[in-house]
A and B are shown apart, each in its own frame.
Chain A
Amino acid sequence: QSALTQPASVSGSPGQSITISCTGTSSDVGGYNFVAWYQQHPGKAPKLMIYDVNNRPSGVSNRFSGSKSGNTASLTISGLQAEDEADYYCNSYTSSNTYVFGTGTEVTVL
């Protein structure tokens, strides 16, 4: 199972919106509504931001939203803030009854 494809880096100014893509296949992202997004700050454990494509857990800012079209899922961060600077990973369930992570995206707030 190959890792899902994410851009290596995305940047934006405070207050702007950015979108991170996560591209897989019909055997993972495209086949199920089981895509999640995790935020990871340096030296810390990952934190759940979005699950099942577009669901936000309690306590996560509504500036974070998720969507999916075909084999590509997306995470949008609106009103970018300095604290959003981190690595972001998508994750999907697969047809092999396993899970796969994306390659990771480094978000920089300019």
Chain B
Amino acid sequence: EMQLVESGGGLVQPGGSLKLSCAASGFTLSGSAIHWVRQAHGKGLEWVGRVRSKHYNYATGYSASLKGRFTISRDESETTAYLEMNSLRIEDTAVYYCARQIDTADRRFDPWGQGTLVTVSS
């Protein structure tokens, strides 16, 4: 079964940093873009950004609202992608999901991981 598994969430103080991982199980991330999406409690989905496949030179793109605080990367083994978050704010508290998109095909996000909770609080 194809699965994505996020990890690395937890409690962090305002101004701190955290790095989330998104690991593929049952398939390789080769040829896939990985998107990060977040959801604050009781709120809607918000697109955070994505890293494209090797075919597209691992190009990244981000939501303008993040103002350069977040960085998405992936390892060359094509099994894991990352979301590094700096200068964290209370409003960054959310469940963070990763999702796969086949980079040279359509624009569907599928599958999704189960999400990892990030809480920014003093």
Contact = CB atoms under 8 A, between A and B. Distances in A.
A37 to B, nearest CB: 10
Contact of A89 (B44, B113, B114): B44
Interface of B: 35, 37, 44-47, 49-50, 61-64, 97, 99, 106-110, 112-115
Contacts of B61: 97-98
B106 A104 contact: no
A99 B35 contact: yes
Interface of A: 1, 3, 34, 36, 38, 40, 45-48, 51-52, 55, 57, 89, 91, 93, 96-104
A51 B108 CA distance: 6
Contacts of A47: 112
A57 B108 CA distance: 9
Contacts of A46: 37, 45, 97, 99, 109, 112
A45 B115 CA distance: 7
Q: Which of A36, A45, A96, A103 has the most CB of B within 10 A?
A: A45
A48 B108 contact: yes
Contact of A104 (B35, B45, B47, B112): B45
A101 B49 CA distance: 12
Q: Among the interface residues B46, B61, B110, B114, which one has the most CB atoms of the partner chain A within 10 A? A: B110
